[in-house]
Amino acid sequence: MLVWLVVSLLLPAEIPSPYSVFVDSHNYFSISYLREHVFVTIGRTLIGFSGAFVLGIIAGLLSVILHIDRYVNTVMIFFHIVPGLILGIVLLSIFGLGSPVPILMILFLVTPLVSIQTANAVIKRDRLIEEMIRVSGGRLIHVLFDSYLPALATSIKSNYTIGFGLALKVVILGEFIGSSSGIGYRLNVAYIFMNMQEVFFHFSLILLIMLVFQILFSALYSQFFTRLLYNE
C-alpha cells in the first residue's frame, strides 16, 4: 500500500492514489458485484485450495511413509513450475469459459507446493519420540499421532499462508484468461478499457480478501492446532 501511494505521487497521471480509488469505489461496488464476482471468486478459491490442500498433505505424507519423497518432490516441482498462463490457455481450450479453468489451475499449481512443504516438515519430525514409541511396543497409529502429526502441524500454517495467497493469485489469473465472471474477469474488462481506477479498486479488494482470510486462519490455528497438538 505504501509503495502504491509513493508511485501514485510520482506518476499521478497513470496511477490513481489509494484515496481516489476509495472515494470512487462506490461506482464499482454493489450487491450484484458481490454476488456475481466477489463471492464467485472466493468460492472458486476455497474449492480449489481445499482440494489442493488435502491432496498435497496426503501426497506429502505418503511420500515420506513410503520413502519415495525424493521422486515425488521431483514430479511435484515439475508441475509447480509450469507457467500459469500456458496452463490456463490449455485448460481453456479443453473446458471453455467457466469455473473449471481457475479451479483446476489451483489444483495443478498449489498441490505441488503443499506436498513439498508437507514432506519437508514431516522428514524433520522428532525421531527420538518415534523410536521410544516403537521400543515400548507402540503401533503405527501411535507413531502417526505422536510423531507425524506434530510435525505436520508445523507445516499447516505455512501451507495455508503461502498456499492460499498463491491460490487467490492463480484464480484471478484463471478468471482473467478463461471466465466470464469473478474479480479476474472484471479486472480483464478494466484492463481492456484502461480504466486504472477500476484496476486498482480490484487490486485493493484482492488484498482485503487475502488479509481477512489470513486473520481468520491465524485465529483458528491458535485456537485449535496449537492447543490440541502441543497442549498449550
Integer Cα distance of 75 and 116 in angstroms: 10
User: Residue 189's Cα: distance from chain center in Å?
Assistant: 24
pLDDT in tens, 29-83: 777 777 888 999 999 999 999 999 999 999 998 998 888 988 988 889 888 888 8
229 Cβ partners below 8 Å, 6+ apart?
149, 150, 153
User: What is the chain's pLDDT, residue by residue, as a tens digit (232 residues)?
Assistant: 677 777 777 877 778 888 888 887 777 777 777 788 899 999 999 999 999 999 999 999 899 888 898 898 888 988 888 888 899 999 999 998 889 999 999 999 999 999 999 998 888 877 777 777 777 776 767 777 777 777 787 788 888 889 999 999 999 999 998 888 899 999 999 888 888 888 888 888 999 999 999 898 888 877 766 655 554 4
Give the whole-angstrom CA distance, residue 105 versus residue 107.
5
For residue 115, what are the contacts with CB-CB under 8 A and spacing of at least 6?
A: 55, 56, 57, 59, 60, 63, 72, 73, 76
**Cα 28 to Cα 198: distance, rounded to the nearest angstrom:** 7
Range 29-32, long-range pairs (CB < 8 A, 24+ positions)? 29/201
Q: Could you tell me the domains of the chain? A: 31-125+155-230 (1.10.3720.10)
Q: What is the pTM of this model?
A: 0.84
